[in-house]
Homo-oligomer: A and B are copies of this chain.
Amino acid sequence: MANRFSAGYLISDADYETAKQRALNITVEQTVEIPRDIVPAGYVEDEILGRLEALEAADGGYIAEISYSLDDVGGDFLQLLNVLFGNSSILSKTRLVWMKPCDGLEAITPGPRFGRAGFYDLAGVSSGPLLMSAIKPVGLSTAELARLAGDFARGGMDFVKDDHGLVDQKTAPFSERLAACVDAIGEANAKTGFRTRFIPNITAEGGRTIERAYEAKEKGAGGVMLAPALAGYDIARQLAADADFGLPVISHPAFSGANVVGGDCGFSHRFYFGTLQRLMGVDATVYPNFGGRFGFSRDECLSIVDGCSEAFSNIKPILPAPGGGMTFERVPEMKAAYGKDVVYLIGGALIRERATLADACKRLAEAVRAT
């Protein structure tokens, strides 16, 4: 018998008996996908078929805990995700809210190479908060974007990343922008003594994502960013598992929002922006902060922090990177919510101070790090 991991599904709009039947349907849907009464006896029924381990009343319905065999996964990370919520993602009023790991998961994914502690090491500090900003908008020239990157670095930001909309447009092609930003930041670091790192966006067509990851490494980038919902859920794991690569991976939520905002379907915020990112090998996970331009609540954001940091197999904790509409005024509120283990992503509010950007970055760092 192989080890079994399990998932918790919130089944809403159901009484106990209905919830139980729907939970039993999930045990079939996620594994054998043939009518229950014709599941072959023996190995398939005993090992492969999902098992309803518990069904308990919860806020909004019933939580069904269903376990699955590692045999059904084989060695394939995407099949792990498929078993967790492949077809059942299409069900209404059924939400994957958590996962419980089991021994043997490390053969399917190593998790992040750096994680929270490694990220602090790269930034040259022993604890956070860390600061990250983004060069933008799309449409500026390479020279203009590199100047921005240099100013962010002079201001002492720990990380400067590409906006996720910067790919390979003719106004600032990937290779040219990467080289120019690494140079501008290197020059600034040489003067200031800061250790600012540049994080290019490597989300690209097919195999080119991995090529750009390696180009980023060769040209001196300090990490890479990608949008897993576009590029595929296995790219970060590939990079994390690759000892030759050896840079941290930041994930961006582009194209993924519908996975959480439907409310009673899809994934919990905790799982999608926390647990799943760790399984994928992501070191820091960007998501929209509460009170910004998107509708995530404070509680949903703090559940993401839990998903990033709770004990989970031997997979390292990672850093939450809330962004989207952060302003100077909101620093006290964010410090109260997030404490030290966080990367603050702040873009527009700094770019607004374009004329004195390095000073604005320093003021931000002081506000964030004041006790």
A interface, CB within 8 angstroms of B:
25, 29, 31-35, 38-40, 43-44, 47-48, 71-79, 81-83, 85-92, 136-140, 163-165, 167-171, 203-207, 210, 227, 229-235, 237-238, 253-263, 265-267, 288, 293-296, 324, 347-348, 351-352, 354
Contacts and interface: CB of A to CB of B under 8 A. Distances in A.
A170 B258 contact: no
Contact of A139 (B43, B205, B232, B288): B43
A142 to B, nearest CB: 13
Contacts of A78: 167, 203-205, 227, 230-231
Nearest to A43: B139
A303 to B, nearest CB: 16
Contact of A164 (B75, B86, B235): B86
A214 to B, nearest CB: 13
A33 B137 contact: yes
B205 A89 contact: no
Contacts of A140: 40, 44
A140 B221 CA distance: 47
B294 A91 contact: yes
Given A72-B139, A91-B295, 17 more contacts: A32-B138, A32-B139, A38-B354, A39-B137, A40-B137, A43-B171, A48-B138, A78-B227, A82-B165, A90-B261, A90-B288, A90-B295, A205-B238, A206-B232, A206-B237, A261-B265, A261-B266
A90 B47 CA distance: 38
A319 to B, nearest CB: 19
A82 B33 contact: no
A31 B91 contact: no
Contacts of A74: 167-170
Given A32-B136, A137-B34, A261-B90, A255 B82 contact: yes
B205 A257 contact: no
Contact of A76 (B33, B167, B254, B259): B167
Nearest to A25: B293
Contacts of A165: 31-33, 72, 79, 82-83, 86
A347 B33 contact: yes
Contacts of A296: 90
B258 A48 contact: no
B89 A254 contact: yes
A191 B85 CA distance: 40
Contacts of A253: 87, 90
Nearest to A168: B74
B255 A35 contact: no
B227 A86 contact: yes
A38 B265 contact: no
A258 B47 CA distance: 28
A72 B164 CA distance: 12
B259 A31 contact: no
Contact of A89 (B235, B257, B352): B257
Interface centre among A87, A258, A265, A266, by most chain B C-beta atoms within 10 angstroms, is: A258
14 contacts: A33-B348, A34-B351, A44-B139, A74-B167, A79-B165, A79-B169, A81-B230, A82-B254, A89-B258, A90-B256, A90-B288, A257-B265, A258-B260, A258-B267
A231 B230 CA distance: 9
Contacts of A295: 90-92
